[in-house]
């Protein structure tokens, strides 16, 4: 055998990571007292425990305290007690604590990595080189935010006690993503890890003791569904942060509806991995390995849908199969292992079931010829070809080492296939033409897009999704906002609308029909039901009638808004010009609108004129900000820049209040339009004629057809229709508490972003009721990673 033959015949021998320190830690720990509450270790009050096992062997690792509702009460009480002192501490004091946590984790990072691999099953190379260093990075990075809080987030403060629920696929990293920004913001925490993977959170709690975290600031409660439900429903918690499945995310959204709790959800994904014909195929294959077989595919942003251009499909698939045949499946503690076991037998059975169903639906599933270990929850890497867009493997999140492949002919088809999913977490674009890549990235409905790379993360760069992948961001400046609150100028409690009960003195028979129509798709149209609503003046006389909008009218308005491509595709400067023009035209009819305000609301002529002038001023404000509220460029510690782009939410439904009916409507519609959203507005139910009077102003202000649609009628009824409509991307509701709560609860169909006043109005004339706080709700932040260098 010559040297070349010997080279090709070489095999990597086993290179196991020592686990003696981890085993010693396990043996020394009393896991029956694993609840970390108020700085003390406690047993579950009900005495229950649950088992955590090693995925590579199925062997029992520990029996861990299983918290119940009483334990959650105790943890929330501890967090509440610690909150005043922690939130009042200087940014420097909080920064020192965060830095101390990071440094203590650095000193124990090998133990963290081995424990994570033993408990989760992920290869030690991933725990050691990715998860633990990035978790440390989050604490040290957020130490800086703690000290810069007053300067960078003026007028904001921590939201309060935060309930956090994390999954089993990245136990330590998800803990860091949640706890670090919360502590930096001055919040206190009650965190529940997943039952499958409690160990590194227990070690982290020990780190908190050593790092001088004040008692009660961090509380970590191990437990199952009962503990999770108790956290979500606890009245003493002001914010819920959840990472997990979309199905559970919807349950949490519904459970928190009407509670006033702040909510962020980082949920499932079905990410597209798009390879164009000019891509470096060898690099793309290596990226694909990281994209789908990282952590055995148990990654919410896994590149589980390979979209490859037809001309290179055969060549790329051949390379993928060759690379798959060389992936090493085995002990996760072996440094040469590429694929370890799935986390549990239930997960293994689920993956097998989805692969079998995908095969039944016409996919051709291929696996390399490799032996699996005799024990543990292992699944071979799987490549599914011949996958139709409707196949279960193309639509459902498998959460395993399974890659579904489809082909496309041109750029437009690639984008259409990529967006053919209810999820929107991440995507990868592979092309040697950066112009093409940056043309495609903004058109993908995904919160993160990697160009010629995949699964890149950093504490300075936001991460989170669109659509049913959730809302909110983790990491970066936008991630800090999730744990902060600004005091909005609250107005009075909004009472349920009573227009139907209003006595209206009818006009005499000689009066002509004064029924104002709806405004849909740039045209005045009659309501589908041909019913109308009588509107009274302040003196109880008939001022006119408006169309009584229905579900069908909302459907038509949403369709028109979705089809109004010209507005979101316009430059920010062009949108600015149009809004200035709208303000100019409203100004020309200021006297008419002031008179209408006085007639309808009974406001004095002076007060009415002030509201009109404030409305014009607000339009000017958002016209000026349309091309100034921009994204950022981040420089993570990698050879890449991250473009944090502001993108419109999409179709935004707006239910405007009765208070300050003209100013309130414009204060909501203007920022949505300024950021490129299209709008379906339901104006004040009591004073809708102010909105219908705007039709002519809109028509001659160069606003494209469909950019703004107005449907008059019953606010509560129409809010519900907008909430249930799956083609509405965002919903802003300022109505009575019951209407707001129902809108939040009924939004779960597509997990649209809902902003409600929780039954309170705002002081629309105040400076706080305008500006960045409204613009932030009108945008999604998409982080596009662009590598550079050879």
Active-site residue numbers?
266, 300
Q: Which of 37, 67, 30 is nearest to 50 (CA)?
A: 67
**What is the number of helices (H) and of strands (E) in the chain?**
29, 34
Element (H, E) at 427: strand 426-430
Q: In this structure, are residues 460 and 161 in contact, taking their beta carbons and an 8 Å threshold?
A: no
Q: In this structure, are residues 184 and 476 in contact, taking their beta carbons and an 8 Å threshold?
A: no
Q: How far apart are CA 691 and CA 615, in angstroms?
A: 12
* Six-digit token string for 600: 């309808």
Which stretches of 661-714 are DSSP H helices?
A: 661-674, 689-692, 694-699
Order of strands across the sheet that contains 542-547: 515-516, 542-547, 532-536
* Six-digit token string for 233: 């429903």
Count of positions (residues) in the chain = 790
Beta strands in 166-251 (DSSP E): 188-192, 218-220, 239-243
Q: How far apart are CA 338 and CA 329, in angstroms?
A: 6
DSSP state of 29: -
Q: In this structure, are residues 385 and 406 in contact, taking their beta carbons and an 8 Å threshold?
A: no
> Counting beta carbons within 10 angstroms of the beta carbon of residue 12, is it exposed (0 to 12), middle (13 to 18) or buried (19 or more)?
exposed
* Six-digit token string for 335: 């440094």
* Six-digit token string for 386: 């011949």
Give exposure, 155-188, as e/b (b: 16+ Cβ within 10 Å): ebbbbbbbbbbbbbbbbbbbbbbbbbbbbbbbbb
Q: How far apart are CA 440 and CA 449, in angstroms?
A: 10
Q: How far apart are CA 286 and CA 290, in angstroms?
A: 7
Q: Which residue has the tokens 């460029």?
A: 633
Residue 487 dihedral angles phi and psi, to the nearest 5°: -80, 110
Secondary-structure breakdown of the chain: helix, strand, coil percentages, each rounded to the nearest 5: 45, 20, 35
Beta carbons within 8 Å of 593's beta carbon, 6+ residues apart:
586, 612, 615, 662, 690, 693
Q: 156 pairs with which residues across the strands?
A: 486
Which stretches of 371-527 are DSSP H helices?
A: 392-395, 411-418, 434-440, 476-481
Q: Which residue has the tokens 């006389």?
A: 541
C-alpha angle 724-770-735 in degrees, rounded to nearest 5: 35
Q: In this structure, are residues 682 and 688 in contact, taking their beta carbons and an 8 Å threshold?
A: no
In 10 A of CB 67, how many CB atoms?
32
Beta carbons within 8 Å of 283's beta carbon, 6+ residues apart:
430, 452
Q: How far apart are CA 451 and CA 602, in angstroms?
A: 58
Q: In this structure, are residues 306 and 273 in contact, taking their beta carbons and an 8 Å threshold?
A: yes
Coil vs helix vs strand at 75: helix
Beta carbons within 8 Å of 75's beta carbon, 6+ residues apart:
35, 37, 38, 67, 190, 219, 221
């Amino acid at each position: 055998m010559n040297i070349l033959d010997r080279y090709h015949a070489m095999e990597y021998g086993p290179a196991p990571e020592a686990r003696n320190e981890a085993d010693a830690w396990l043996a020394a720990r009393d896991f029956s007292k694993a609840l970390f509450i108020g700085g003390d270790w406690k047993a579950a009050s009900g005495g229950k425990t649950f088992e955590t096992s090693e995925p590579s062997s199925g062997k029992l690792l520990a029996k861990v305290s299983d918290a119940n509702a009483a334990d959650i009460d105790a943890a929330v009480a501890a967090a509440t007690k610690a909150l005043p002192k922690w939130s009042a501490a200087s940014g420097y004091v909080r920064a020192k604590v965060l830095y101390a946590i990071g440094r203590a984790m650095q000193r124990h990072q090998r133990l963290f990595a081995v424990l994570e691999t033993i408990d989760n099953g992920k290869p030690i190379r991933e725990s050691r080189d990715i998860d633990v260093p990035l978790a440390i990075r989050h604490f040290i990075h957020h130490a800086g935010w703690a000290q810069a809080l007053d300067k960078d987030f003026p007028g904001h403060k921590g939201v309060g006690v935060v309930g956090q629920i994390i999954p089993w696929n990245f136990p330590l990293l998800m803990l860091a993503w949640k706890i670090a920004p919360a502590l930096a913001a001055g919040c206190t925490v009650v965190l529940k890890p997943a039952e499958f993977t409690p160990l590194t959170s227990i070690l982290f709690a020990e780190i908190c003791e050593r790092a001088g975290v004040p008692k009660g600031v961090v509380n970590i409660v191990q437990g199952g569904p009962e503990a999770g439900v108790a956290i979500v429903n606890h009245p003493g918690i002001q914010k819920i942060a959840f990472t997990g499945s979309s199905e559970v995310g919807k349950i949490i959204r519904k459970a928190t509806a009407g509670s006033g709790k702040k909510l962020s959800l980082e949920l499932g994904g079905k990410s597209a991995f798009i390879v164009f014909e000019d891509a470096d195929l060898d690099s793309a294959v290596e990226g694909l390995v990281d994209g789908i077989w990282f952590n055995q595919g148990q990654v919410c942003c896994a590149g589980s849908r390979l979209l490859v251009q037809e001309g290179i499909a055969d060549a790329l698939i051949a390379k993928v199969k060759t690379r798959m045949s060389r992936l090493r499946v085995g002990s996760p503690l072996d440094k040469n292992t590429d694929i370890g076991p799935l986390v549990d037998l239930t997960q293994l059975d689920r993956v097998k079931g989805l692969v079998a169903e995908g095969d039944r639906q016409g996919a051709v599933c291929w696996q390399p010829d490799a032996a699996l270990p005799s024990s543990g929850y292992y699944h071979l890497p799987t490549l599914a070809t011949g996958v139709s867009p409707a196949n279960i493997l193309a639509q459902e999140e498998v959460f395993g080492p399974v890659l579904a492949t489809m082909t496309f002919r041109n750029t437009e088809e690639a984008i259409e296939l990529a967006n053919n999913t209810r999820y929107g977490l991440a995507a990868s674009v592979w092309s040697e033409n950066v112009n093409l890549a940056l043309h495609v990235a903004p058109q993908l409905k995904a919160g993160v897009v990697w160009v010629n790379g995949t699964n890149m993360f950093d504490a300075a760069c936001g991460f989170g999704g669109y659509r049913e992948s959730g809302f909110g961001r983790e990491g970066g400046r936008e991630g800090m906002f999730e744990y902060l609150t600004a005091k909005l100028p609250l107005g009075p409690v909004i009472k349920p609308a009573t227009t139907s009960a209003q006595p209206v003195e009818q006009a005499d028979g000689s009066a002509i029909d004064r029924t104002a129509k709806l405004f849909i798709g740039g045209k005045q149209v009659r309501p589908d039901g041909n019913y109308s609503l009588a509107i009274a003046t302040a003196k109880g006389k008939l001022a006119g009638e408006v169309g009584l909008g229905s579900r069908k009218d909302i459907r038509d308005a949403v369709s028109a808004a979705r089809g109004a491509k010209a507005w979101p595709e316009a430059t920010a400067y062009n949108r600015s010009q149009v809004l200035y023009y709208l303000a100019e035209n409203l100004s020309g009819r200021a006297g008419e609108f002031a008179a209408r305000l006085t007639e309808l609301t009974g406001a004095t002529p002076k007060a009415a004129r002030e509201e009109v002038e404030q409305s014009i001023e607000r339009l000017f404000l958002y016209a000026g900000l349309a091309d100034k509220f921009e994204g950022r460029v981040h420089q993570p510690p990698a050879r890449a820049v991250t473009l944090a782009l502001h993108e419109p939410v999409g179709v935004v439904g707006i239910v405007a209040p009765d208070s300050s009916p003209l100013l309130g409507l414009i204060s909501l519609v203007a920022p949505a339009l300024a950021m490129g959203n299209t709008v379906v507005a339901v104006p004040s139910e009591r004073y809708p004629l102010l909105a219908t009077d705007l039709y002519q102003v809109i028509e001659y202000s160069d606003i494209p057809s469909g950019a703004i649609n107005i449907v008059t009628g019953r606010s509560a009824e129409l809010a519900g229709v907008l909430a249930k409509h799956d083609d509405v991307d965002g919903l802003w509701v300022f109505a009575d508490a019951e209407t707001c709560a129902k809108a939040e609860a009924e939004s779960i169909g597509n997990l649209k972003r809902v902003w409600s006043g929780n039954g309170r109005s705002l002081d629309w004339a105040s400076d706080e009721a305008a500006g960045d706080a409204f613009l932030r709700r009108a945008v999604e932040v998409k982080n596009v990673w662009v590598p550079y260098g050879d």
